[in-house]
Amino acid sequence: MAEETRERIAPIPRHVAIIMDGNGRWAKQHGLPRLGGHRVGTENLRRVIETMAEYGVEYLTLYAFSTENWNRPVSEVRGLFRILGQVIDRESRALHEKGARICHLGTMEGLDPKLQNKVRQALELTRNNRRITVCIAFNYGGRAEILEAVRRIVREGVPAGTINEEEFRRYLYSSEMPDPDLIIRTGGEMRISNFLLWQSAYSEYYSVPTYWPDFGKDDVEKALIAYSQRQRRFGGLGPGEKRGKAGGGAPPGKAAGS
């Protein structure tokens, strides 16, 4: 990688999440059926994962199938499941050899038992790897994740007074990961699409018009450079600006952040 690009990228986000959008439009542009777009949308995975790992990103989450995607035609849903199975078959060993740990975010409910098995085997094969964690959000919905956390808390009889943000996050699918620092959306839309709703409270958003199958190493670098130029304040003030005394602030429920 070019030295001047590397120098422009600091700090490195610990966790990057990607909404891989635009496969359908890419397919249309190329005169292919939608599934052709999804299939080609798997060919850049290695490149994107490797670039993130080279820059030192520790966690990469890829939004591959949302709970709402079940509303697509049955043939597309089946095709997406088939493609996921093929990606696991094709990429697990290569990712393992590159030191990547694979994880799954979402529910296995409703998935074909054979696919569930493949996912479990990939998790098992790579569980001790530490170079980068690649999390596939598959059969994932942010609201479903929060509801599931609430159900578990109620089922376990956890006393209401002991629930705070730290405690609550332990019940999310993503409990072992830091919140995403940067969320990239390809395909140009400006929507959250039910992705990491709790975890993205202070994430930086970056939307690019590039369709996912065309998103490559240069695009990853541009996104990381854009992140480097953001000033994160987590609801506080920027460096050098006057701060109030700790302990003051907005009343509960009125807190404002930026």
Q: Which residues are catalytic?
A: 21, 69
Q: How far is CA 177 from CA 43, 58, 135, 166, 237, in A?
A: 26, 10, 10, 13, 26
Q: Which is nearer to ligand FPP, 137 or 149 (CB)?
A: 137
CA distance 177 to 198: 13
Nearer to ligand FPP, 87 or 220 (CB): 87
Minimum distance between the CB of residue 89 and ligand FPP, rounded to whole angstroms?
Answer: 11
In the complex, which residues of this chain contact ligand FPP (CB under 6 A)? 20-25, 38, 41-42, 45, 62, 64, 69, 83-84, 87, 136, 187, 212
- Closer to ligand FPP by Cβ: residue 123 or 158: 123
| Shortest distance in whole angstroms from residue 23 CB to ligand FPP | 4
Q: How far is the CB of 227 from ligand FPP (least distance, A)?
A: 21
Backbone dihedral region of 32: left (phi > 0), alpha (psi from -120 to 50 degrees) or beta? Answer: beta
Closest distance to ligand FPP from the beta carbon of 102 (Å): 10
Count other Cβ atoms within 10 Å, centred on residue 140: 26
- Beta-carbon contacts of 102 under 8 Å, excluding residues fewer than 6 positions away, are 92, 95, 122, 123, 125, 126, 133, 134, 135, 136
